[in-house]
Structure 1
Amino acid sequence: MVTLPALAYPALFIAFALFFVLPLGFHGLWVPDETRYAQAAQEMLNTDNWVVPHFMGLRYFEKPIGGYWLIAIAQALFGDNLFGTRIASALTTGATVLLVFLLTRRLWSDPLKTWTACLLYMTFGLAAGQAGYSNIDPQLALWTTLSLASAWLGMEGRSARERWLGWALLGAACAIGFMTKGFLAWLLPVIVVVPYAVLHGRWRELLKGGPLAVLIAVLISLPWVLAVNQREPDFWNFFFWNEHIRRFTSNHAQHTAPFWFFIPILLAGSLPWTLLVIPALKRTWAERRERHSGFLALWFAMPFLFFSLSKGKLPTYILPCFAPLALLMANTLVDKLRQKDLRLLRGNGLLNLALGGLSLLGLIGLELTHPVFSGYPARLASAALVCMVWALCGAIQWKRASQHWYAPALAIWVLIAVLPASMPQTIVDNKMPDQFIAEHLDPLQGARSLLSNDLGAASALAWRLNRSDVTLLNVDGELRYGLGYADAQDRRVLSKDVGDWLSKQMKLGPVGIVLKAPDMHGDQLPSWLPDGAKVFRENNLLIVITR
């Protein structure tokens, strides 16, 4: 009989502290997302504007305000540092694990399945990776999980009090999710709850409690809705049409991808448990007439289908699907353990062994032919350690599936804790420019004016210096809307005008310039830079301080 060890939950808490929280400050901010959210939240604190989203001092209406609130509060508590920027993602992921715990315990009353569901969610590659990454997807996953867990309570609660509490929590979760990500937070519960109510005869409960959920959602979100509309009347026009309708329907939407895009993302995001995905979904289909299986099936499938139909796609969009997937896979995994059917677990271990071994061989081959870690032996050793641990954990699961079936958890935890700080310097400079900027903060802090030709580098510069007045050279992209306002016309300069702009700014004081210059080689510099400037260079990054 497979039982739950006494230290099972303490082990999860220790793992969360060691692998999720402790490494948050050990590597630079990834562009474009982390620098964006860090700078926008910092600006919120500096301006005390908790209503209208701004990024780089410009109106930024691609997201509502709520997603920045938690990041800003964390920076207020822990400082404008890497830890403060990321801790909100880690804590919201931890809160989602808590909801997985509560829901699994409610559905199955099985301690081992409950713990296993928590372990699986904490070790899904997509969920674990996002927990250490400053963005709002873990927040949306939390509010979506709370809304649908509450909806289950509202329709299947054991008492009238439980059911009313469920509907009230659903409304609150939808409101906070709406202020975090937008109308999506209302749509996802609807496309799950309505089909479930119809298919399983719970439509009377839906008609009774649904209006309460809607009322609470409106009452909580309405003050911000009216406040942002009063300050920026065009917010809802841009946000609704550009970020919802256009992104879902237009062939010119950002990040367009084919319908099947999320299938490989699901399998990769489920590592190191990928081989358990299909059997769990097959079993769920067979048991779809059971209420809890039917609800979890809809919770997984409907958002997955919705995002697949959307024209614009990013891998993290399906993160809300991983909470129900954790429950479904835990149900299948534990039953197979108890039946002593270990073929699936052994096959999963063999897959992880192969992935870890091949990754290690690939790393060795890359370093022999193109030594990207040259001069950084500690990073090379750390990357090799990740591969070896992954292979070893796979081997343990393969050979000791009945006793140590959970071994791959350590593999993903070591990966998320160690690998981001073990990147080759070329990747650090290209994807974490704030690290190079941090090395040269002193001369940059003396600059009166700032200029950058890359939005990621510009936002990293703004965050590191705690100032948003960086002039953008040939940059618009996601800032195109904000740059279109009359009060933002001086925030962008074109190549043909940069010489005149620089001459004017140099008369007022030193100018700090951060450039991404992939086409520059050796000592070659852009022709418009003045003579006598102080230049710092790292791969394709340039920092220039005029005198």
Structure 2
Amino acid sequence: MRLKSINLSPIRYWFQNVGDNSILITIFTLIWLLGINFIAFIWNLGSVGLIDETEPLFAEASRQMLITGDWITPFFDGQTRFDKPALIYWFQAIAYKIMGVNEWAVRIPSALAAISVTVMSFYVVKWHFTEKDRLDQTTNLPRRYFIATLTSGMIALNPEMIVWGRVGVSDMLLTGGIACSLLSFFVGYAQNSPPSRWPNPWYVTSYVLMGAAVLTKGPVGIVLPGLILIAFALYLGKFKQLWQEAQPVLGIFIVMIINAPWYVLVTWRNGWNFINTFFGYHNIERFTEVVNGHSAPWYFYFLVVLFGFLPYSVFLPAALIKFMGWKFWQNSWRSHIISQERSQHLGLFACFWFLGVFIFFTIATTKLPSYVLPLMPAAGILIGLFSSDLFTHKPTDKSFRLSSWANVAFSLTIAIALLHVLQLFGTDSAAPEFYQKLQHSGLTNLGGWIWLTTAIAVACLNLIRSYRIVLPTNILAFVIFLALVLMPALFMMDEERQAPLRHLSALAVSEIKPHEELVMVGFQKPTVSFYSRKAVTYLEDAQEALDYIRTQSVTTKNSHSLLLLLEQQEFMTMSLPLENYKPMGKKGAYHLIRVPLPPIKKSHSLSKA
């Protein structure tokens, strides 16, 4: 018996009846964008503490910038920090000025950058289908608004965007600059303005945003979008035409105007220290060599995209094939693409965007999950456009049907993994009770049931051929998963891993004596510097700590003791007699003790312990 597909006539009826009412459409759009962005990036944004190790490095450097008034050179614990340019520090410091020094202020620049990507993507996709309706001499409001809302929902509600949109580091700011720059460039390109003295304002906007990206993370902010745009123009045979139209020389000048003041001043103040550290180590070496042990196999980013853009990532292969074509390099395919109106090149443009970022960072030697964050908006646009034929009279594409069944299999895989995930983990010395509490909470089982239910629901939709609801079902499932599993798990992790450090940092502030030094032994957790507002000395292990105590007893004259913060293992390894230290507090896996100077009564070494 042949099953009939469900007709979404209520959606079509609703859109057709509000089509002439711009106020209702505006309200609908605002509610949707506010809703998904609130859930993804604002809800509980400042309710958990900073997460070691990277986030507090940015947070404390920005705080130092605010209190010292030095807006040129970033510092952390008295040492220059040239990992990234100044824009992220400026934004966080300004947020401190407005909101106070807290977690909200640290993270709000990332959240706003993520929101800008979501809103800009909605606008461009909706504009694309408005132009398509004009070319087709029709008005397909369900497709125009539903695909735009679907695209923005997928871009906002996936693990990669949510993780990096909720931490106070530079990655989302870079993604916002690159993504909005590329989208602005596409709108300028699609308007096909004749060459004039000044480029289309959308091109100028694109260049300004590239400048912001360079001021966020360095040369990659212009190199990456530049390579994508050059490849796109060369493929279409429009390089010379776009050169005259977009005036990239002016664009480079705009980028230089935005960046030159800070780069010149920071170089003038710090000389070769800045040049070697920032350009040499954090840019050239990260691309050509493994930095900080962040190596990974060649297929690393396939896994990052698969799980970082879940649950929608299984639709990406078919979407890429649809807009690139199996015969990508054949003149017949290129001629077909070139014959289209520029506004209809969005799918191809998103392919170059996605593949450009993916290939660039696959070639790079140092690999981190956050590096491919700038391709996530392109992934959402590709899948949104891929599903647009569901709102026409065309039969459902076979590739979409197969992708929908792949979605069922992927959801089942996620469900099985969550139901067994705790068996894969060992103990964590920094949070010894976390996995036990996670198991008792039942959160992983709940997550497994959510994705099992999703798999069954999507399978049913496939059987009744109601493919239009497949992607919305995935978005709804992810929202439920975020609210019922990920958010409670985040609070639990914060309570077990980060809260003890915050508690002992506050205790150190209340107990520390004038000129007394705060020393961390066996680990480096920059949150202690941020929450204690103190410079912290980091020592590698217990033996180094014992040697340091002996050294300080000879060289230090202004203080008679040290405050040591250390894990249980290092505390036991030091084997300090009770009379040689004073316990100040214990929380979780950490001890705070005071060690008196001059030297402890009995000379200890680990070899004798």
The TM-score with structure 2 as length reference comes to 0.77
- Determine the structure 2 residue equivalent to 1:541: 590
| Pairwise CA distance, 1:365 | 9.8
> Once superposed, what is the RMSD of the aligned Cα atoms?
3.4
| Pairwise CA distance, 1:313 | 0.8
Counterparts of 2:126 and 2:446, CA distance in 1: 36
Q: Percent identity?
A: 20
The question of whether the paired residues in 2 share the 8 Å contact of 1:171 and 1:213 is answered with yes
The question of whether the paired residues in 1 share the 8 Å contact of 2:286 and 2:365 is answered with yes
Q: Which residue, out of 294, 297, 302, partners 2:351? A: 297
Q: Structure 2 vs 1, CA of residues 434 and 74 (structure 1 numbering), >3 Å: closer, same or farther?
A: farther
The question of whether the paired residues in 2 share the 8 Å contact of 1:197 and 1:206 is answered with no
| Pairwise CA distance, 1:301 | 0.9
Q: Which 10-residue stretch deviates more, 377-386 or 255-264?
A: 377-386
Counterparts of 1:408 and 1:438, CA distance in 2: 42
Q: Structure 2 vs 1, CA of residues 373 and 236 (structure 1 numbering), >3 Å: closer, same or farther?
A: closer
- Determine the structure 2 residue equivalent to 1:488: none
Counterparts of 2:424 and 2:193, CA distance in 1: 62
Q: Structure 2 vs 1, CA of residues 69 and 434 (structure 1 numbering), >3 Å: closer, same or farther?
A: farther
Deviations 1:460-519 (A, max 9, x none): 11110223x2222249xxxxxxxxxxxxxxxxx865233332676696266332223545
The question of whether the paired residues in 2 share the 8 Å contact of 1:429 and 1:541 is answered with no
Q: Structure 2 vs 1, CA of residues 525 and 80 (structure 1 numbering), >3 Å: closer, same or farther?
A: farther
Q: What amino acid maps onto 2:49 in structure 1?
A: G
Counterparts of 1:410 and 1:503, CA distance in 2: 64
Q: What amino acid maps onto 2:313 in structure 1?
A: T
SS in 2 for 1:104: helix
Residue 496, structure 1, aligned to residue 496, structure 2 = no
- Determine the structure 2 residue equivalent to 1:486: none
Residue 397, structure 1, aligned to residue 436, structure 2 = no
Q: Which residue, out of 347, 357, 360, partners 2:419? A: 360
Counterparts of 2:500 and 2:211, CA distance in 1: 36
Counterparts of 1:50 and 1:445, CA distance in 2: 29
The question of whether the paired residues in 2 share the 8 Å contact of 1:443 and 1:545 is answered with no
- Determine the structure 2 residue equivalent to 1:482: none
Residue 333, structure 1, aligned to residue 400, structure 2 = no
Residue 22, structure 1, aligned to residue 43, structure 2 = yes
The question of whether the paired residues in 2 share the 8 Å contact of 1:437 and 1:464 is answered with no
Q: Structure 2 vs 1, CA of residues 352 and 343 (structure 1 numbering), >3 Å: closer, same or farther?
A: same
Q: Which 10-residue stretch deviates more, 316-325 or 287-296?
A: 287-296
Residue 149, structure 1, aligned to residue 183, structure 2 = yes
Counterparts of 2:80 and 2:527, CA distance in 1: 18
- Unaligned 5+ runs, structure 2: 1-6, 15-24, 131-143, 329-333, 338-344, 597-609
Deviations 1:327-373 (A, max 9, x none): 11111123247545655335414532442354135449989xx9945
- Determine the structure 2 residue equivalent to 1:94: 115
Q: What amino acid maps onto 2:204 in structure 1?
A: A
Residue 76, structure 1, aligned to residue 97, structure 2 = yes
Matches within 5 A, 1:214-229: 214-229=252-267
Deviations 1:226-271 (A, max 9, x none): 1111211121232111112211113567512232221111111110
- Determine the structure 1 residue equivalent to 2:576: 527
Counterparts of 1:330 and 1:26, CA distance in 2: 33
Q: What amino acid maps onto 1:71 in structure 2?
A: Q
Counterparts of 1:530 and 1:213, CA distance in 2: 68
Counterparts of 1:546 and 1:356, CA distance in 2: 50
Q: Structure 2 vs 1, CA of residues 392 and 86 (structure 1 numbering), >3 Å: closer, same or farther?
A: farther
SS in 2 for 1:30: coil
The question of whether the paired residues in 2 share the 8 Å contact of 1:97 and 1:118 is answered with yes
SS in 1 for 2:106: helix
Q: What amino acid maps onto 1:304 in structure 2?
A: F
- Determine the structure 2 residue equivalent to 1:516: 567
Counterparts of 1:406 and 1:506, CA distance in 2: 67
Q: Which residue, out of 105, 111, 116, partners 2:145? A: 111
Q: What amino acid maps onto 2:356 in structure 1?
A: M
Q: Which residue, out of 182, 207, 228, partners 1:171? A: 207
Counterparts of 2:434 and 2:207, CA distance in 1: 51
The question of whether the paired residues in 2 share the 8 Å contact of 1:350 and 1:398 is answered with no
| Pairwise CA distance, 1:277 | 1.5
Q: Which 10-residue stretch deviates more, 445-454 or 168-177?
A: 445-454
The question of whether the paired residues in 2 share the 8 Å contact of 1:506 and 1:546 is answered with no
- Determine the structure 1 residue equivalent to 2:57: 36
SS in 1 for 2:227: helix
- Determine the structure 2 residue equivalent to 1:422: 489
Counterparts of 2:233 and 2:422, CA distance in 1: 51
The question of whether the paired residues in 2 share the 8 Å contact of 1:9 and 1:115 is answered with no
Q: Structure 2 vs 1, CA of residues 365 and 164 (structure 1 numbering), >3 Å: closer, same or farther?
A: closer
Counterparts of 1:257 and 1:374, CA distance in 2: 26
- Determine the structure 1 residue equivalent to 2:135: none
| Pairwise CA distance, 1:413 | 3.6
Counterparts of 2:282 and 2:291, CA distance in 1: 12
Q: Structure 2 vs 1, CA of residues 49 and 391 (structure 1 numbering), >3 Å: closer, same or farther?
A: farther
Deviations 1:21-49 (A, max 9, x none): 12123323221111211111111111122
Deviations 1:148-169 (A, max 9, x none): 1222234332435895212211
Q: Structure 2 vs 1, CA of residues 251 and 121 (structure 1 numbering), >3 Å: closer, same or farther?
A: closer
| Pairwise CA distance, 1:220 | 1.4
- Determine the structure 2 residue equivalent to 1:269: 308
| Pairwise CA distance, 1:217 | 0.8
Deviations 1:497-543 (A, max 9, x none): 3333267669626633222354555xx65539962412433454222
Q: Structure 2 vs 1, CA of residues 253 and 80 (structure 1 numbering), >3 Å: closer, same or farther?
A: closer
Matches within 5 A, 1:100-499: 100-109=121-130, 110-160=144-194, 163-203=199-239, 204-208=241-245, 209-234=247-272, 235-250=274-289, 254-286=293-325, 289=334, 290=337, 291-336=345-390, 339-340=395-396, 342-363=401-422, 372=433, 376=437, 380-400=441-461, 402=466, 403=469, 405-416=471-482, 419=486, 421-422=488-489, 430=497, 434-437=501-504, 440=507, 443-444=510-511, 448-453=516-521, 456-457=524-525, 459-467=526-534, 469-474=535-540, 496-499=547-550
The question of whether the paired residues in 1 share the 8 Å contact of 2:418 and 2:444 is answered with no
Counterparts of 1:530 and 1:91, CA distance in 2: 53
The question of whether the paired residues in 2 share the 8 Å contact of 1:27 and 1:420 is answered with no
| Pairwise CA distance, 1:123 | 1.6
Q: What amino acid maps onto 1:541 in structure 2?
A: Y
The question of whether the paired residues in 2 share the 8 Å contact of 1:125 and 1:412 is answered with no
SS in 1 for 2:519: strand
| Pairwise CA distance, 1:272 | 1.3
Counterparts of 1:529 and 1:248, CA distance in 2: 50
Q: Structure 2 vs 1, CA of residues 333 and 505 (structure 1 numbering), >3 Å: closer, same or farther?
A: farther
Counterparts of 1:416 and 1:444, CA distance in 2: 40
Counterparts of 2:439 and 2:67, CA distance in 1: 38
| Pairwise CA distance, 1:11 | 3.8
Larger CA Rg, structure 1 vs 2: 2
SS in 2 for 1:452: strand
The question of whether the paired residues in 1 share the 8 Å contact of 2:77 and 2:529 is answered with yes
The question of whether the paired residues in 2 share the 8 Å contact of 1:499 and 1:528 is answered with no
Counterparts of 1:246 and 1:371, CA distance in 2: 36
Counterparts of 2:492 and 2:577, CA distance in 1: 28
SS in 1 for 2:592: strand
